[in-house]
Amino acid sequence: MSTYFISDIHGCYKELKLILKKVLFNVKKDYLWIAGDLVSRGPHSLKVIRYIFSLKERVQIVLGNHDLNLIAVHSGIKERKKTDFFDEFLSAQDSSELINWLRSQSVLKIDEKRKIIMVHAGISPQWDIKTAKKCALEIERCLSSKNYSLFLKSIYKNEINYWTNNLKKLDRLRYSINAFTRMRYCYTDSRLNLFCKKSPNLVKYPLVPWYKLLCNFEKEYSVFFGHWSSLRGIKVPQPFFPLDNGCCWGGELTIFRWEDKKYFFQPLEKNI
């Protein structure tokens, strides 16, 4: 039995199947953890979600910003963009079933036994594990509720970038979504930056990669995340494991095997 970690598949179905074949992924024995952004950018979001859905108990997922965007587009609160490649998904007969399955996923996974954390974008430097769990659960409850469309309609607000225990519920949810699914950098006072996407080599003070400010988590946890393709080629200190190597931009789909701590790569196929 092996556990594999992957992220930012972005509709790259062919590359997903190729890399799983490369590592000899066994659907009866192995487990696949996905750090969000199953959809958008690439052409086959529907195929990717159908396949992941078919894995059932063999898969663990956290939602990324593009997955939340798909749910919002499906519910009619956001307009689809050509770059999303959602037309096939939205016209599929099983789209509602797949959306309901996505809505049942969380934004944070923690394996206490193996000390593993998985998130799409990051974890607020102002949180400890207890707070992160609480915030993730609050999002999960809202997203899986009957009023999920109202929740999604209200969460997109860039101004909520600093955590206090006195935040009202809606602002607390906005902040949590921003931290879990959107941020890359923080300011030195721990305020979230939701705009900069550049490589750390090109960014200067007062912006700092979020993981360099994360001091409220115990050192023994390994933290897997995606969302940040410009980290490609950047040495990120353990216990942090970036997984997004920009496959949909012409880079590579990346998978990490937990048992021997080994990375595997699958370049984007030119003829999809």
Domains of the chain (ranges, CATH numbers): 3-267 (3.60.21.10)
Supply the pTM of this predicted model. 0.96
Which stretches in the chain have pLDDT values below 70? 271-272
CB 107 within 8 A of CB 140: yes
**Over the stretch 20-35, which tens digit does the pLDDT of each residue have?**
999 999 999 999 999 9
User: What was the pLDDT predicted at 272?
Assistant: 45
User: What was the pLDDT predicted at 205?
Assistant: 93
User: What was the pLDDT predicted at 271?
Assistant: 60
User: What was the pLDDT predicted at 83?
Assistant: 85
Q: How far is CA 81 from the centre of its chain?
A: 20
User: What was the pLDDT predicted at 215?
Assistant: 76
End-to-end CA distance of the chain: 31
